[in-house]
Amino acid sequence: MLRKYLFLFIGMAVMAAGCSKAQKEPHARYDIVPLPVKITEKEGNFALENGTEICIPAQNEALKKIAEMFIQQIRTASGLELKIKEITGSETPQKGIVFTVSKIDEIGAEGYKLWVEKGKIDIQANQPNGFFYAIQTLFQMLPPEVYSKEKVKNNPDWSIACAEITDFPRFQYRGMHLDVARHLFPVEFIKKYIDLLAMQKMNRFHWHLTDDQGWRIQIDKYPKLNEIGSWRNGTLIGHYNDTFPQQFDNVRYGGFYTKAEAKEIVAYAASKYIEVIPEIEMPGHAVAAIAAYPELCCRKDTVFEVGKTFGVYDDVFCTTDTVFTFLEDVLTEVMEIFPSQYIHIGGDECPKNNWRKCKHCQSMIKTHKLKDEHELQSYFIHRIEAFVNSKGKKIIGWDEILEGGLAPNATVMSWRGDEEGVKAAMQDHDVIMTPTSFCYLNYYQADPQTEPLAIGGFVPTQKVYSYNPMPENLPADKQKYIIGVQANLWTEYIKDSKLVEYMLYPRASAIAEIAWTPNERKNWDSFTKRMLTQFKRYDYLGVTYAKHFFDVKASSEYNTQKADVEIKFETLFPDTKIYYTTDGTEPTVNSKLYTGPFGIKEKTMVKAATFKDGKKVGNVYKKEFYVFKSTGMKYTLVNEPKTYLGTTKYSLTDGIMANLKSPDTWIGFSGKDLDIIIDLTKEQSIKRIAANFESAVDSWIFQPTEIEVFISPDGKTFTSVSKQVLGADKNTVPKIIPFEVLLNNASTRFIKVMAKNQGICPKGHPGEGNPAWLFVDEIVVE
């Protein structure tokens, strides 16, 4: 596939060079991200020259600004001076770049039509947004050097490939979120972050401004929010689950954005057709505000400090009039800064423990005839929504706002999966899809063993790209309620701007494409090919993106005939070679050259890397593969796992051991037991059966309470060979719970392992009453 594209690419580029006057190095002509709805490729180029005119309708300030932005960037990168020509009356320009405001139903509010011919470029759109996006497309039809912040020395062919393009977004909401509460980032960086969104035709910036660890927006009426709430006396060292008790750096950390700075960002974003949506979290994730004003909490006489650790805090806003007055005052000031149609009010992860004990909260439940604390949360959100609606604006809340009943006009951000989004759409509420398993860009994008510390999870670029925000099971008449998709970047473990970009890119480009491009046009091979050019654009923009895209990807499969594990490598990077080692040493050009799948018959450390022109590109792949009697053997499970499925088809016997840093390497059962029968395909003598379980109580993963192992020569009559009772999980830090049975050359073909899930999270646990997870991998037979 890649080869074919490469051929096409070179073919087209040569053609381009042939047609252009300048005979310069060819550049990628149509590597546009996100991919437009329709491109008809044409022969020839439109060459930018000194004096090229951009013709815009007279007295159209918005289009003038867009034209000026284009001129400015072309000047910076190329030194070419284009000029604006204002067109009045019936004049029809015959050359240059011509903007015409039209009425074209097909392309909607944000779409555009673009005709690039040798002497003229015509752009038509209904609104300025469309012209802005047409310009983004033109930038991407120019050499990547066009994104340079200074005049480039190589002076590439400043021409635009001839084409006819019709383009408009799949979703009207195309968002990206940034948490500045856990760590904050300079105003200049936020602007760069916005530039990158605009370049990829994203139109919403969801700015998470308040949380337990810091209040980040100036509020005049409550100065202690900034004097106290914006500062913490230290930050957790390492990961939440690393040590018990947790360790802190004791370094005072904080700050906030002044109103002037926030307004500057709002205006900057607006100039790039991006709406900034502020989030003020309530009723949970409110410790920073409570530390400043303890009277806002149920435990009013307690002294609080701004959160230094992460996770979910029990201290949340109480439900007194003081709290509602405070929040209305805060929101009033926030609405003065942010002209957005939406205000995000949070609503996620609000523990109800304090409300259960609080006299006032209990009296509210009685007075308002509410069923329970969930309905009290719903009351809270309804009341805030009524206030926000009264100011002519709408609320967005995380999907927990469904619990206890949705507020009448609320838009739901579905983050725990698609199901909550479907529920909200079925109730005729707008929904923005942002499920953790596809859209959380704070999750790992590559092997956690070799990555900077992250919160967990595993969402590589290809997984992001595979996401379709329109749930398959949503009836056609409800699909209009899925208004878009958003990626989130929570910054517990992301301390600086460089790491923000590393986590976002290239994954945010995949988000941009799933948000913009019609689902039927999405194509991973085409995306990877276009990304080769997009990476060059990132380079000119100074983006510190992750390079895993070009790492060696490995897959393994047991070969029954050869009785070995076959390892296969791939890379997306064209014209490269893969070198690998099986002795633990680092791969170099002197290591073994990969020419096709190879087998291993025993425990082996495999390392591989991609090399281009003798130099390593990307990161070294490394993994330990094991070969046991169970390796590659098929099995049946009584309870099929649904979310944590492991990384291969028979993950429990694939010869790859799960580790604590990689949740996706485990098989997970929610509230259910492990009940597995492995078929070794023939009766044989065995010495040992073993399995690893995970205990990570903070993540709701508990060790099994009981494990029993059976053997059977015929798959019908099973004999118990071991039963161990482990009981309740008392572990305080995550660990692997190894289990083994030693057998004296027992003869068997079938092996059955049963491990009992403890069922539900116990009393006092944050997940009390919810299903407990049982995590297992690998099952080993020797």
Establish if 348 lies at the interface with ligand ACM (CB under 6 A): yes
Find the distance separating the first CA and the last CA of the chain, reported in whole Å.
41
Name the residue nearer to ligand ACM (CB basis): 348 or 557.
Answer: 348
Q: Any catalytic annotation for residue 211?
A: yes
Q: Name the nearest CA neighbour of 341 among 285, 283, 433, 274.
A: 274
For the chain, the maximum distance between any two Cα atoms, rounded to a whole number of angstroms, is 96
Q: How far apart are CA 319 and CA 370, in angstroms?
A: 13
CB of 208 to ligand ACM, least distance (A): 9
643, 701 contact by CB (below 8 A)? no
Residue 135 interacts with which of Zn ion, ligand ACM, none, CB < 5 to 8 Å by class? none
Residue 53 interacts with which of Zn ion, ligand ACM, none, CB < 5 to 8 Å by class? none
CB of 386 to ligand ACM, least distance (A): 23
Q: How far apart are CA 215 and CA 744, in angstroms?
A: 63
Name the residue nearer to ligand ACM (CB basis): 289 or 674.
Answer: 289
CB of 269 to ligand ACM, least distance (A): 22
Establish if 398 lies at the interface with ligand ACM (CB under 6 A): yes
Residue 318 interacts with which of ligand ACM, Zn ion, none, CB < 5 to 8 Å by class? Zn ion
Establish if 313 lies at the interface with ligand ACM (CB under 6 A): no
**Minimal CB distance residue for ligand ACM:** 348
Name the residue nearer to ligand ACM (CB basis): 117 or 349.
Answer: 349
CB of 702 to ligand ACM, least distance (A): 22
Helix locations, 455-523, DSSP H: 461-466, 497-504, 507-516
Q: How far apart are CA 135 and CA 76, in angstroms?
A: 16
CB of 398 to ligand ACM, least distance (A): 4
Q: Which of 264, 314, 348, 349 is catalytic?
A: 349
CB of 370 to ligand ACM, least distance (A): 24
Name the residue nearer to Zn ion (CB basis): 323 or 541.
Answer: 323
CB of 545 to ligand ACM, least distance (A): 23
Q: Which of 53, 305, 329, 349 binds ligand ACM (CB under 6 A)?
A: 349
Name the residue nearer to Zn ion (CB basis): 318 or 774.
Answer: 318
CB of 287 to ligand ACM, least distance (A): 14
CB of 384 to ligand ACM, least distance (A): 17
Residue with tokens 């719970």: 737
Q: Any catalytic annotation for residue 708?
A: no
The three-class DSSP label of residue 94 is coil
Q: Are strands 96-101 and 615-625 parallel, antiparallel or unpaired?
A: unpaired
List the x/- string, 403-442, binding to ligand ACM by CB under 6 A: ------------x---------------------------
Structure tokens at 608: 């591989």
Q: How far apart are CA 701 and CA 222, in angstroms?
A: 41
Name the residue nearer to Zn ion (CB basis): 306 or 318.
Answer: 318
Residue 398 interacts with which of Zn ion, ligand ACM, none, CB < 5 to 8 Å by class? ligand ACM
Establish if 782 lies at the interface with ligand ACM (CB under 6 A): no
In angstroms and rounded to an integer, the radius of gyration of the C-alpha atoms of the chain is 29
What backbone torsions phi and psi does residue 657 show, to the nearest 5 degrees?
-85, 130
Q: How far apart are CA 22 and CA 27, in angstroms?
A: 13
Q: Which of 31, 145, 179, 211 is catalytic?
A: 211
Distance from CA of residue 44 to its chain's centroid? 39
Establish if 693 lies at the interface with ligand ACM (CB under 6 A): no
Residue 451 interacts with which of ligand ACM, Zn ion, none, CB < 5 to 8 Å by class? none
Structure tokens at 173: 């909401």
Name the residue nearer to ligand ACM (CB basis): 162 or 424.
Answer: 424
Name the residue nearer to ligand ACM (CB basis): 53 or 349.
Answer: 349
- Can you list the positions of beta strands (E) in 429-525? 431-433, 482-487
Residue 348 interacts with which of Zn ion, ligand ACM, none, CB < 5 to 8 Å by class? ligand ACM
Residue 710 interacts with which of Zn ion, ligand ACM, none, CB < 5 to 8 Å by class? none
CB of 632 to ligand ACM, least distance (A): 38
CA distances from 69 to 72, 73, 147, 270, 715 (A): 5, 6, 12, 13, 72
The three-class DSSP label of residue 778 is strand
Residue 403 interacts with which of ligand ACM, Zn ion, none, CB < 5 to 8 Å by class? none
Q: Are strands 173-179 and 411-414 parallel, antiparallel or unpaired?
A: unpaired
Q: How far apart are CA 77 and CA 308, in angstroms?
A: 44
Where on the chain is the footprint of Zn ion (CB under 5 A)? Answer: 298, 318, 358, 360-361
Q: How far apart are CA 168 and CA 201, in angstroms?
A: 10
Number of residues that bind ligand ACM (CB under 6 A): 4
Residue 415 interacts with which of Zn ion, ligand ACM, none, CB < 5 to 8 Å by class? ligand ACM
Name the residue nearer to Zn ion (CB basis): 74 or 365.
Answer: 365
CB of 656 to ligand ACM, least distance (A): 29
Q: Any catalytic annotation for residue 285?
A: yes
Partner residues linked to 645 by β-bridges: 667
CB of 490 to ligand ACM, least distance (A): 6
Name the residue nearer to ligand ACM (CB basis): 348 or 675.
Answer: 348
Structure tokens at 113: 């039509």
256, 246 contact by CB (below 8 A)? no
What backbone torsions phi and psi does residue 193 show, to the nearest 5 degrees?
-55, -40
Q: Which residues contact 224 (CB under 8 A, 6 or more apart)?
A: 292, 293
Q: Which of 206, 208, 285, 548 is catalytic?
A: 285
Name the residue nearer to ligand ACM (CB basis): 377 or 692.
Answer: 377
188 burial via Cβ count (<10 Å: 0-12, 13-18, 19+): exposed
Residue 361 interacts with which of Zn ion, ligand ACM, none, CB < 5 to 8 Å by class? Zn ion
Q: How far apart are CA 577 and CA 610, in angstroms?
A: 6
Q: How far apart are CA 321 and CA 42, in angstroms?
A: 66
Which DSSP string corresponds to 232-287? ES--B-S-TTT-SS--B----EE--B-HHHHHHHHHHHHHTT-EEEEEEEESSS-H
Name the residue nearer to ligand ACM (CB basis): 492 or 513.
Answer: 492
E strand or H helix at 360: helix 359-367
Residue 505 interacts with which of Zn ion, ligand ACM, none, CB < 5 to 8 Å by class? none
SS (H, E, C) 721-735: EEEEECCCCCCCCCE
570, 580 contact by CB (below 8 A)? no
Residue 358 interacts with which of ligand ACM, Zn ion, none, CB < 5 to 8 Å by class? Zn ion
The residues that touch ligand ACM, with contacts defined as CB under 6 A, are 348-349, 398, 415
Catalytic residues: 211, 285, 349
